[in-house]
Each structure stands twice: as C-alpha cells, then as structure tokens.
Structure 1
Amino acid sequence: MPTDLVGHVGRSIEKQSLRTKDVSEARVRFSKSMAELAERWSNLRAGLVRPTYEQHLVGLEQIGADEERPAVHQLDMRDL
C-alpha cells in the first residue's frame, strides 16, 4: 500500500490471492491484478470511489434510470 493512502484506506498491506498454482497463469493474473490495483490507487488519490451496490440502487430509484454498472462519484478524502 502506498504510504500516502494508508491513512485513507486504514491498512498498510494490500493482499490478494491469485487462486492458481500454475506459474504461467499466476504471471498473467498478477499482471492483471497489478493493473487493477494501480487504477484503484489512482482513483483513491483523485478522490473517486465506486458506490456500494445499495447506494447504486438508491441512485437508480431517484433518477428512474437503468444503468448496467455503477457510476464513479467524486469523494472528498477529508470526509473519510
């Protein structure tokens, strides 16, 4: 976990299983996982968060729309 995000996330270690024993498959999954993690860290730094499923449903009810995936919303990190 990057040191600048530890205070926002509340932990210093990010841990995830690749769920495979095959070395070549692990390399592929590791690359994909690291790309997703880098994007997550970038979004946290920018103050962007993905709403929970429940928040998404409430938003859909309010606007009466049917979206396929939750939108990304701006969040002030000072609110955490």
Structure 2
Amino acid sequence: MYKSFLKSALVLGLGLGVPSMVFAEQEAQKLVATDTVFILNSLLFLVGGFLVFWMAAGFAMLEAGLVRSKNVTMQLTKNVAL
C-alpha cells in the first residue's frame, strides 16, 4: 500500500511540477509602482480598521442583550474602556 501511494505521489508531483517549469521561463512581470502599493496598503488598513470598529460595536450589543437590564450600562462601559 505504501509503495502504491509513493508511486502515485511521484507521478502527481511530476505531473504538476514539469509543466510549471515550462511556464517559469517567461519573462518577469513588471513591478507595480510604489505609489500604487502604498495607496492599496493604506486602503486595506483603513477597511480593516472599520471592520474591527463595527465588530466591537456588534459584540457590545451582543453582550448588552445577554445581561440583565441593570447591568447593561456597566457592560457597555467596559467595552468602550477596553
């Protein structure tokens, strides 16, 4: 069983590896301008920040719904403070 698995893995590796060597000889793609990379990184950072902000607000609302009404203010204060 082990030998048949080894043979199958070898055939699969060669089947996937050899064609990739053929395509590797193409010329390299041109690099993206530094300004474009900076803009896209900044945009991704801001989008991630907005998602985390809304996630924290949603979790605060979840916790507010799980506690008694007299403790809601304290739970929301803890979420804002931390």
TM-score tier (shorter): 0.3 to 0.5
Q: Which has the larger radius of gyration?
A: 2
Identify which of structures 1 and 2 has the higher relative contact order when contacts are C-alpha pairs closer than 8 Å and 6+ apart. Answer: 1
**Structure with higher helix content:** 2
When the two structures are superposed, what TM-score results if normalisation uses the length of structure 2? 0.33
